[in-house]
């Protein structure tokens, strides 16, 4: 056909990056529909749209370019726009700076505007701020009808489900009615959280990942004086970045022989020891391993993947997803003065008692339970990965129509490495694609900018020219 129409469902980082590459590379008449239901999340998603006062990127600015072929693109953009952010950015900009996430969101939006302005004649972007209720297969000239909440439809030949991360799931407890209480916040990004919590009130954060770090920093920045309890199964905090770590020259991991999670960890520890003898930090070894991770994950059997998730993942994640030094020092200071207490414990139950919450927990290694009395409970456990548990009407429709199928581990959906979604029989669904977090079950590493920018460039080439520009990351 002379004209190509592509609908991207989801306007966060994954969707916006795909739109950018489509606009930059399309050579014939093409309409790109970028559809996002929440105006504040357009071009930003959850990660870069939050109004929390403390939310730095967890990667130094030098590594946050949208375009790997232009490694200094983000740094140059920051230098050019520094006068716009006199209170948010240092002057001069350092490659090692951890800049606020909202600034990176502005950068993503600006890159899209540039791609739109520079697109060839006949290549256009249509932004739609609407909730998508259904994506249905059609015949003849258009492959899909994308139904919006306002009653209209977008007809598209190809559809990209850029769904990003699903909202966190409520932890299983006997008293599920508590989750309807105003004393519970299901999402840490809820803008009313900080204003609703009295300055001296104790608070319980469920989960100890980077999301928790951002929320603790925001509470401190707002002058919160109350006790902050953090509860997670292992009680592990993210490790700290070492920005001056020299890159480690690690050869690609060979997968000709079985490599169980235990063997993989032994090899990693051996490599870290070898690197240390040569003057390299463990941070550089972990970073160098990223290019081999999807292949290693793919090489595990189903049972080995389950073993990894249960026994290795908590320790891998805190070394892989690190926090800035300033965040680490903040947490340490709060712990030393007794305001922050991190507990390795499981949540037993939650009960509202007037204006307070009685949180029953069981600390790791103990048989008995204890009660924490707090004014609010905030879910910082991270995104839901099991699509069968999502209450989103679009996800439910896609599941019922067989247009997405959960993977065996319930970490995402089934798809080819190039992002073509698979049906229940494991066959590709023509012209229906995804990228980013939904591919975590297939690739494991599929949520960070480094992986998503690779996927978006490759997917744009596949959508426009029928072949992926970049090789898939699997053997």
Position 195 pLDDT exceeds 90: no
Q: What is the Cα–Cα distance from 10 to 343, expressed in whole angstroms?
A: 36
Mean pLDDT of the chain: 93
**Cβ neighbours of residue 257 under 8 Å, at least 6 residues apart?**
none
Of residues 126 and 139, which shows the higher confidence score?
126
pLDDT, tens digit (0-9, with 9 covering 90-100), for 411-452: 999 999 999 999 999 999 999 999 999 999 999 999 999 999
Note if the pTM is more than 0.95: no
pLDDT band at 256 (very low <50, low <70, confident <90, very high): low
CA atoms within 13 A on the CB side of 270: 6
- Show contacts of 154-158: CB within 8 Å, 24+ apart: 154/7, 154/33, 154/35, 154/128, 155/5, 156/5, 156/6, 156/7, 156/33, 157/1, 157/4, 157/5, 157/6, 157/431, 158/4, 158/5, 158/6, 158/7, 158/431, 158/432, 158/433, 158/463
Let me know if domain 176-239+323-379 sits in CATH 3.30.70.120: no
Handedness of CA 216, 221, 224, 225 (dihedral sign): positive
What is the three-state SS of 228-265? Answer: EEEEECCCCCCCECCCCCCCCCCCCCCCCCCCCHHHHH
pLDDT, tens digit (0-9, with 9 covering 90-100), for 267-303: 899 999 999 999 999 999 999 998 888 889 988 999 9
Of residues 47 and 66, which shows the higher confidence score?
66
pLDDT, tens digit (0-9, with 9 covering 90-100), for 364-421: 999 999 999 999 999 999 899 999 999 999 999 999 999 999 999 999 999 999 999 9
Nearest 5 degrees, angle CA 105-CA 108-CA 113? 125
Coil, strand, or helix at residue 128?
strand
Determine contact, residues 205/229, Cβ cutoff 8 Å.
yes
Hey, what are 267's tokens?
């090899």
4-55+100-167+385-465: CATH homologous superfamily? FAD/NAD(P)-binding domain (3.50.50.60)
CA atoms within 13 A on the CB side of 131: 8
In this structure, what are the phi and psi dihedrals at residue 376, rounded to the nearest 5 degrees? -160, 150
Average pLDDT over residues 325-335: 97
What does the pLDDT read at residue 196?
84
pLDDT, tens digit (0-9, with 9 covering 90-100), for 217-228: 999 999 999 999
pLDDT, tens digit (0-9, with 9 covering 90-100), for 356-378: 999 999 999 999 999 999 999 99
What does the pLDDT read at residue 290?
87
Q: How far is CA 226 from CA 204, 234, 342, in A?
A: 11, 24, 14
Domain with CATH 3.50.50.60 in the chain: 4-55+100-167+385-465, 176-239+323-379
Position 475 pLDDT exceeds 50: no
Average pLDDT over residues 147-155: 97
Residue whose structure tokens are 């000239």: 141
């Amino acid at each position: 056909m002379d004209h190509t129409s592509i609908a991207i469902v989801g306007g966060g980082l994954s969707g916006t990056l795909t739109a950018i590459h489509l606009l930059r590379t399309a050579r014939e008449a093409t309409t790109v529909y970028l559809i996002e239901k929440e105006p504040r999340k357009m071009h930003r998603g959850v990660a870069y749209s939050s109004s929390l006062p403390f939310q730095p990127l967890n990667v130094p600015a030098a590594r946050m370019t949208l375009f790997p072929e232009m490694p200094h693109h983000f740094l140059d953009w920051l230098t050019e726009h520094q006068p716009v952010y006199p209170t948010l950015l240092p002057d001069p900009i350092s490659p090692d700076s951890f800049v606020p996430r909202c600034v990176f969101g502005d950068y993503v939006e600006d890159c899209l505007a540039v791609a739109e302005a520079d697109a060839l004649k006949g290549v256009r972007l249509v932004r739609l701020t609407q909730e998508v209720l259904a994506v249905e297969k059609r015949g003849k000239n258009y492959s899909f009808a994308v139904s919006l909440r306002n009653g209209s439809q977008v007809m598209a030949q190809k559809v990209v489900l850029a769904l990003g991360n699903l909202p966190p799931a409520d932890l299983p407890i006997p008293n599920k009615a508590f989750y309807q209480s105003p004393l519970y916040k299901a999402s840490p990004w809820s803008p009313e959280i900080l204003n609703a919590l009295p300055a001296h009130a104790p608070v319980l954060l469920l989960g100890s990942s980077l999301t928790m770090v951002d929320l603790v920093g925001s509470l401190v920045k707002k002058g919160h004086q109350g006790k902050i309890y953090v509860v997670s199964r292992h009680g592990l905090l993210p490790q700290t970045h070492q920005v001056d770590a020299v890159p480690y020259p690690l050869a690609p991991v060979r997968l000709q022989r079985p490599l169980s999670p235990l063997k993989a960890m032994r090899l990693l520890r051996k490599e870290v020891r070898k690197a240390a003898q040569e003057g390299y930090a463990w941070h550089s070894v972990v970073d160098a391993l990223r290019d081999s991770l999807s292949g290693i994950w793919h090489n595990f059997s189903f049972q080995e993947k389950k073993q990894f998730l249960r026994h290795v993942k908590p320790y891998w994640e805190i070394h892989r997803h690190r926090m800035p030094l300033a965040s680490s020092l903040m947490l340490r200071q709060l712990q030393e003065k007794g305001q922050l207490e991190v507990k390795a414990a499981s949540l037993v139950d939650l009960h509202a008692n007037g204006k307070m919450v009685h949180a029953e927990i069981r600390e790791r290694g103990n048989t008995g339970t204890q009660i924490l009395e707090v004014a609010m409970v905030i879910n910082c456990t991270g995104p839901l990965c099991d699509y069968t548990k999502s209450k989103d009407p679009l996800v439910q429709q896609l599941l019922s129509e067989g247009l997405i199928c959960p993977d065996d581990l319930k970490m995402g959906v089934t798809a080819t490495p190039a992002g073509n979604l698979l049906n229940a029989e494991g066959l590709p669904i023509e012209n229906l694609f995804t990228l980013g977090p939904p591919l975590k079950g297939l690739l494991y590493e599929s949520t960070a900018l480094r992986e998503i920018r690779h996927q978006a460039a490759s997917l744009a080439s596949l959508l426009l020219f029928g072949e992926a520009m970049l090789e898939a990351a699997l053997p």
